Amino acid sequence: MSAIVANLFRTKSVQRLQEEAADNGMNRTLGALDLVLIGVGDIIGAGIFVITGRAAAEYAGPAVILSFLFASVACAFAGLCYAELAAMIPVSGSAYTYTYAAFGEIFGWIMGFDLILEYSVGSGLVAQGWSAYFLKFLNAAFGITLSPTWTSTPWNWSEKHGFVPGDGYINLPAFLIVLVVTIVLVVGVRQSSVFNHVACAIKLVVILTFLFATVGYIDSNNWTPFIPGPEGDRDYGFKGVLRASFSVFFSYIGFDARDMPIGILGSLAVCSTLYILVALFLTGIAPFKTLNNAAPLANAVSALGFRWLTVFVSLGALAGLTSVQVVAMMAQPRVFYSMSKDGLLPEAFSKIHPKFKTPYVPTIVTGTVVGLASAFVPMDVLNDMTSSGTLFAFAMVCLAVGVLRFTRPDVERPFKVPLGPIIIPGLGVATCLFLLVSGGITSIIRLFVWMAIGLVIYGTYGYHHSKLRNIEDSDSDGSSADSGKLPAEDGKKGDA
């Protein structure tokens, strides 16, 4: 029994991970501005184009601004912790790797399985947002209206009644964009980084155009009351503000993709400012109750009579959401790849295509999961599952900083969280768990059920095939001799 427990909590060597990072074959040629802009490009997506309206309409009203502020504070604590770990262990698979190094294999597995919620389930939500803006573009530009039968999920979600019948059979546009992105990632288009840079520029131009074009149409009456009181089956109030913070936390996925502190903190600061400004303007130009849709920016400017801006915003959102979809669906296979190289998943997940040099099996698996989620699962469910998974991951990373400070004080840390190993990491854990609880009991139950499924898979396969447990290691601390690295053709991190 003691041997089993020891194997579950056996950690990976920090020194080995640092050696892999130093010998990954990639040159670090990006400056501070480059890192911040890449971070902004990864982060801005469904959160600003899709979730803002829903969070305002269902939970917070104009006070969704406070929701973004609260979420950004929690992200700032987590961001500082990510910055320390990323500077200390700048390798693929970040949150999975950090947890493995700090807590041991069982928690590394839990984190890896949790990241499916952050990336695969989150990608399904992004695809549904893409579908909504695609429909808005067709209508605004060409007067074409597609039937909800083939553009909506068969079920919707109600906080009071659970799953209820929806308007369609399948969200076909969402499924098709996932299919296209999956094919692109299997083929391995080397120009993807260029596309992401261009898409980042387009997103920023669209957001700034939205702000400048609508500033004269803000009606301050739409901000009154700023925090709506309870109404019908909606709580609103401060409870609603916190519930909205849980929902919009999804918006910050991507800042943890960076492996340098300036990239993490800089991109987080820029995106938080943009989120708050967009939320302020959006609730100023439209009554918050009208924003409960998957394309709130386009619908709000359309209601003002701005056809050109509706088309422009829709096109910008399509480009932005596509780039985020590519990044997220590229990240998930890298996590699967790392886990497979550690023996926790079958070897097929670490196979590289002989022609395209991409991890094609996990990419296809990811595409299948994302496609089904986007086609059939309600957006509310996808949003809440993604936020809960992300909050759990961030809390674990914050906890890992404190643990590694005490267990591995000898390891060099180019960047350290200020105020010691307890205050900032502790605040990070506390705020993330507080927002997770604010999401409601249903979200917590879903998270635990998901983790239980993951533990069953680990118990039946991962534990018995773990290379950390089964391979004779030459290191005295028992680290894995083969944690594996992806080919460096894209330079992307493993979990973001």
- The tens digit of pLDDT for each residue in 185-219 reads 888 755 556 666 787 788 889 999 999 999 999 99
How far is 412 from 448, CA to CA, in rounded Å? 36
Sign, CA dihedral 348-351-355-361, equals positive
What's residue 474's pLDDT?
Answer: 41
- pLDDT tens digit sequence for 280-319: 999 999 999 999 988 999 999 999 999 999 999 999 999 8
Confidence of residue 6 (pLDDT cuts 50, 70, 90): low
- pLDDT tens digit sequence for 118-145: 888 889 999 999 999 999 999 999 999 9
Instruction: List C-alpha distances in Å: 394 to 55, 71, 91, 303, 400.
Output: 21, 12, 17, 38, 10
Q: CB neighbours of 417 closer than 8 A, spacing ≥ 6? A: 80, 81, 83, 84, 401, 424, 425
Higher pLDDT, 55 or 410: 55
Listed range (44-58, 302-316, 376-390, 421-435) with the worst mean pLDDT:
44-58
**For the chain, how big is the Rg over CA atoms in Å?**
22
What's residue 482's pLDDT?
Answer: 40
Domains in the chain with CATH codes: 42-466 (1.20.1740.10)
Report the chain's mean pLDDT, rounded to a whole number. 82
